Amino acid sequence: MTAEALLQVRDLKVHFKLRRGVGTPGGVVKAVDGVSFDLAAGRTLALVGESGCGKSTTAYAVIGLEQPTGGKVLFDGRDITHLRGADRAHLARDIQIVFQDPSAALNPKMSIADSVAEPLAIAGWTRNDRRKRIAELLDRVGLPATFAERLPSALSGGQRQRVVIARALALSPRLLILDEPVSALDVSIRSQVLNLLLELQRDLALAYLFISHDLSVVRHIADEAIVLYLGSVMERGPIDLMFEAPQHPYTKALLSAIPLPDPVQQRQREKIILTGDLPSPLAPPPGCPFISRCPTRVETCATARPELRPTISATEAACFLTR
Amino acid sequence: MSAATIPVLAIDDLVVEIGGNRIVDHVSLSVGSGRILAIVGESGCGKSLTALSVLGLLPRAARVAGGEIRLNGRDLLPLGEDALSDVRGNEATIIFQEPVASLNPLMRVGEQVEEALRLHRGLSPTAAREEAIAMMTRVGIPDAARRARQYPFELSGGMCQRIMIASALICRPALLIADEPTTALDVTIQAQILELMRDLRGDVGTAIVLITHDMGVVADLADDVCVMYGGRVVESGSVEATFASPRHPYTKLLLATIPTLHGRRKTTLRTIEGMVPSADSWPDGCRFRTRCPLADEACREVPHLADVGHNHAAACWHTARVEALA
């Protein structure tokens, strides 16, 4: 455990009990099943994986939007796993979240200034202080001061996402959870918002927990990545190693599935096409969660669950066959 | 023109208007048998409306205000609804982004694959079922006979998209329009569907119009590409030429904004200034000029698509200076 880690997550579990009903047999969905990581100030950790892998649930459990059923979440050394009420509300000064769709995250009837000022008002700032802070924040995210009195409907998607980021920054948090922050934006706008996030991190030493299914974006912005599959960590490590020499068969398949915007490269490269679908989280395979789609599985994989262990490329992978 | 050289789909000078705004402005494109043409662009560029016009599926507020759409040489625009329904699902078909939303939730998937056969070919139920199961197997649905009796909710998103593709191809159409066919799918499932489409084009000989915003998907699958911006085609050509040396500033910059898998990390990415303008605020002249670093007085006049190489055209007054844009 590194001393400087701002956020420490230990063996986090979020299990959902499903009641029996029409069409549902009941059972337990292990949405997150034993995820651990450290995140330091000024660093970005990406949670990567396909739908249902538990990346968003992990992030929601960190800020208490989901109740962890096991494990620990420490922020600045303090156990925040089960904080409630006023303590949880107070934590919102330090940890904020930005969602994918800025249009859904802003009240359409509230002016930009009011939206950005809402956390300040709740924290008891005076009207005058709020006004000054709003001007600072809009400037910080690259929006003209004249936007303050506008409604979200007068803004483009990229501008709205800047407003959401400004609001998240209002109380000077130390950790931002970014849940697919550029996925809903047009391609020509994405790089503007990614640049803004990089700049904010450099200037404010923010820690980012970054959730994305877009691996080229992840590679550009993150320092480390955790690859999740059915709630379990398949591989984790520094981003460059993970992309240059992935060791887990799932990481390899995931990386090979990104279509590169270069026809020559894209047509020449060897593609690993996984067969089958993601298994139902209600009936995960015993043994390795990836077994049903793994091109290199062996007998052991069906009975024992591989633990994370160091690989030759200095990542950690949960696979019996990696060296 | 001999029969062999008539393109499967030829759109000529298409104009589509919504409430007086020209959303699609003199768009021309064509695609030949067994070829894949990608129409790429951001939201509001007119790519989907162009495609929907082909099948007479425009939303009520929109209307075709000019141009021609020829399918195997026959102009589709003068056709009435009855004649068009004979074309749809038979000679030309479309699949959408959300496979689950495109399927009828109350109908077994096998019946949905058969539907076009029974409608257009008058096949008996047994013969139709057999053909449907064969097509479902062809698009990679394991245990197709059992799956055919299931409902869409029992299938995954990737499987539902395979069902859509099976029902779109069952009548061996001359043209398949695929509107963001993999956007709603997970990346490993997207890879499966892209491989399937690559595979099918060969044996069915269908011409495919692929609508997407993802340059990676274009690079993976398409032979030719049409880049749209503000309702117009700004660049068109073979995928190789267009990606290797884009000659419109928009194409060039769009490719440059995408983070690569080998560039330096955490660096400032290339951006395109401003935002995608909506149809009521398009500038006169070149519609990209308000965001273009090369724009000058000349750009107040509309640039037309002009050849910049073999099978490669761009609509820009400054095509010669685009390469130096970095």
The pLDDT-based confidence of A75 (bands split at 50, 70, 90) is very high
User: Average pLDDT in the A233-240 region?
Assistant: 96
Whether residues B42 and A188 touch (CB distance < 8 A) is answered with yes
Residue B41 vs residues B4, B46, B50, B226: alpha-carbon distances, Å: 31, 8, 12, 9
Kindly state whether A245 is in contact with chain B, defined as any CB-CB distance less than 8 angstroms. Answer: no
Per CB-CB distance under 8 Å, the chain B contacts of A263 are 218-220, 239-240, 243
Optimal mutation site among B198, B227, B265, interface A, most CBs of chain A within 10 A:
B265
Whether residues A219 and B188 touch (CB distance < 8 A) is answered with no
> Which of A51, A216, A274 is nearest residue B259 as measured by Cβ atoms?
A216
Nearest CA in chain B to A202: B266
Query: Does the pLDDT of residue A284 top 90, yes or no?
Result: no
| Amino acid B133: pLDDT | 95
Query: Does the pLDDT of residue A12 top 80, yes or no?
Result: yes
Rounded to the nearest angstrom, the minimum Cα separation between B272 and chain A is 6
The pLDDT-based confidence of B2 (bands split at 50, 70, 90) is very low
Query: Does the pLDDT of residue A283 top 50, yes or no?
Result: yes
Nearest CA in chain A to B193: A273
The pLDDT-based confidence of A286 (bands split at 50, 70, 90) is confident
> Which of A127-136, A267-276, B54-63, B281-290 comes out lowest in average pLDDT?
A267-276
| Amino acid B281: pLDDT | 87
Which pLDDT tens digit goes with each residue over B66-123? Answer: 999 999 999 999 999 999 999 998 999 999 988 888 999 999 999 999 999 988 988 8
> Which of A161-165, B73-77, B259-263 comes out lowest in average pLDDT?
B259-263
> Which residues neighbour B18 within 8 Å (Cβ) at sequence distance 6 or greater?
B61, B62, B63, B279
Decide: helix, strand or coil at residue B197.
Answer: helix
| Amino acid A3: pLDDT | 53
For the beta carbon of residue A68, count every other beta carbon within 10 angstroms: 22
Whether residues B265 and A219 touch (CB distance < 8 A) is answered with yes
Q: Which residues pair with A178 in a beta bridge?
A: A98, A210
Per CB-CB distance under 8 Å, the chain B contacts of A256 are 191
Whether residues B187 and A158 touch (CB distance < 8 A) is answered with no
Query: Does the pLDDT of residue A281 top 60, yes or no?
Result: yes
Query: Does the pLDDT of residue A23 top 80, yes or no?
Result: no
- In angstroms, rounded to a whole number, what is the distance separating the alpha carbons of residues B160 and B113? 11
Nearest to B131 by CA among B148, B108, B156, B106: B148
Rounded to the nearest angstrom, the minimum Cα separation between A127 and chain B is 32
| Amino acid B275: pLDDT | 85
Q: Are A93 and A83 in contact (CB under 8 A)?
A: no
Query: Which residue is associated with the tokens 């859509």?
Result: B164
Query: Does the pLDDT of residue A143 top 90, yes or no?
Result: yes
Decide: helix, strand or coil at residue A82.
Answer: coil
Task: State pTM to two decimals.
Answer: 0.91
Decide: helix, strand or coil at residue A247.
Answer: coil
The pLDDT-based confidence of B1 (bands split at 50, 70, 90) is very low
Q: Where are the alpha helices (DSSP H) in chain B?
A: 47-54, 81-87, 99-102, 109-116, 125-138, 144-147, 157-169, 187-204, 215-221, 239-244, 249-257, 319-322
> Which residues neighbour A291 within 8 Å (Cβ) at sequence distance 6 or greater?
A285, A297, A301, A302
Instruction: Look at the alpha carbons of A263, A266, A269, A271 in this order and tell me if their dihedral is positive or negative.
Output: negative
Instruction: Look at the alpha carbons of B275, B276, B277, B283 in this order and tell me if their dihedral is positive or negative.
Output: positive
Kindly state whether A256 is in contact with chain B, defined as any CB-CB distance less than 8 angstroms. Answer: yes
Share of residues in chain A with pLDDT > 70 (%): 98
Q: Which residues pair with A232 in a beta bridge?
A: A229
Mean of per-residue pLDDT scores for chain A: 93
Q: Are A280 and A239 in contact (CB under 8 A)?
A: no
| Amino acid B202: pLDDT | 75
Per CB-CB distance under 8 Å, the chain A contacts of B100 are none
| Amino acid A308: pLDDT | 95
Mean of per-residue pLDDT scores for chain B: 92
Which pLDDT tens digit goes with each residue over A198-224? Answer: 999 999 999 999 999 889 999 999 999
Rounded to the nearest angstrom, the minimum Cα separation between A71 and chain B is 29
Interface TM-score (ipTM) > 0.90:
no
Query: Does the pLDDT of residue A1 top 70, yes or no?
Result: no
Q: What is the DSSP letter of B220?
A: H
User: Average pLDDT in the A221-248 region?
Assistant: 96
| Amino acid A27: pLDDT | 83
Rounded to the nearest angstrom, the minimum Cα separation between A185 and chain B is 9
Share of residues in chain A with pLDDT > 90 (%): 84
